């Protein structure tokens, strides 16, 4: 579906945005590899030209050309290894390491705070709050030090072994243009939980929503999202 319904509000799906981010990432990666190829070609061409000219007077320079090309290959290999290191490190993890930073399959730290888990069709799903951006203390919270970051949304990761987690993107994004919305960026959305309703074939998420000073609701407020 391209839109979700929640508490009477309608907002666009994150699927199109996630697809755009993946396309942008692919384009950037392709440009990076093209740039390396040009650097390598220019570097080799310049050195080889000089050595070939000197080789007209000294046959030993031909061996230097071969050695130089080999050195450049090693440099390019190092660049490739560095660009892939994050993803390589993530895929090499074979055990859960308490106290360490959990990485997703892209090599990025998992951003799913206050998380809840769902096991469905042999796949584990991890839902959590996205914490990113500048940390600040609103004036309304100054007396108790309630620092925060603006609401971004709820993320999701999936895994078949609880070790390797694939990012599924932002499944419940914040709303930036409606201060009255439950998911407005200046509000609170935390501790998401998800269950599957086999009678309706729907997933149901509920979570704590509140104002930034935690005075909007009484008790334990919840928001239910069906998708």
Please answer whether residues 66 and 47 qualify as being in contact, where contact means their C-beta atoms are separated by less than 8 angstroms: no
**Residue that wins the pLDDT comparison between 84 and 150:** 150
Residue 206: pLDDT band (50, 70, 90) is confident
Geometric angle at alpha carbon 17, from 26 and 208, rounded to 5°: 130
User: With contact defined as beta carbons under 8 Å apart, do 157 and 125 qualify?
Assistant: yes
Query: In whole angstroms, what is the distance from residue 45 CA to residue 65 CA?
Result: 10
Determine which helix (DSSP H) or strand (DSSP E) holds 73, and give its type and residue range: helix 61-92
Average pLDDT over residues 100-123: 94
**Tens digits of residue pLDDT in 48-96:** 666 666 656 555 544 544 555 565 566 556 555 555 566 666 667 788 8
Residues 46 and 197: beta-carbon distance below 8 Å: no
User: Is 139's pLDDT higher than 60?
Assistant: yes
What percent of the chain stands above pLDDT 90?
A: 33
Q: What is the pLDDT confidence band of residue 224, given thresholds at 50, 70 and 90?
A: low
pLDDT band at residue 167, thresholds of 50, 70 and 90? very high
| pLDDT at position 190 over 60 | yes
Question: For residue 192, what pLDDT band results from cuts at 50, 70 and 90?
Answer: very high
pTM for the model stands at 0.60
**CA distance linking residue 65 with residue 83, whole number of Å:** 27
Does residue 119 surpass a pLDDT of 80?
yes
State the sign of the Cα–Cα–Cα–Cα dihedral 142, 147, 150, 156: negative
């Amino acid at each position: 579906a391209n839109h979700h319904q929640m508490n009477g509000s309608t907002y666009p799906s994150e699927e199109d945005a996630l697809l755009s981010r993946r396309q942008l990432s692919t384009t950037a990666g392709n440009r990076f590899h093209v740039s390396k190829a040009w650097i390598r070609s220019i570097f080799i061409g310049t050195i080889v030209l000089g050595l070939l000219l000197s080789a007209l007077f000294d046959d030993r320079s031909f061996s230097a050309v071969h050695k130089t090309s080999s050195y450049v290959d090693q440099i390019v290999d190092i660049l490739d290894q560095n660009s892939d290191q994050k993803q390589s490190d993530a895929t090499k993890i074979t055990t859960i390491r308490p106290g360490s930073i959990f990485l997703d399959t892209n090599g990025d730290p998992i951003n799913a705070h206050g998380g809840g888990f769902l096991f469905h069709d042999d796949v584990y799903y991890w839902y959590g709050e996205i914490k990113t951006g500048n940390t600040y203390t609103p004036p309304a919270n100054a007396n108790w030090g309630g620092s925060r970051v603006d609401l971004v949304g709820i993320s999701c990761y999936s895994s078949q072994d609880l070790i390797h987690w694939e990012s599924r993107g932002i499944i419940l994004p914040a709303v930036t243009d409606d201060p009255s919305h439950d998911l407005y960026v200046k509000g609170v959305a935390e501790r998401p939980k998800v269950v599957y309703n086999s009678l309706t074939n729907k997933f149901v998420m509920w979570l704590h929503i509140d104002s930034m000073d935690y005075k909007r609701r009484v008790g334990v407020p919840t928001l239910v999202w069906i998708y």
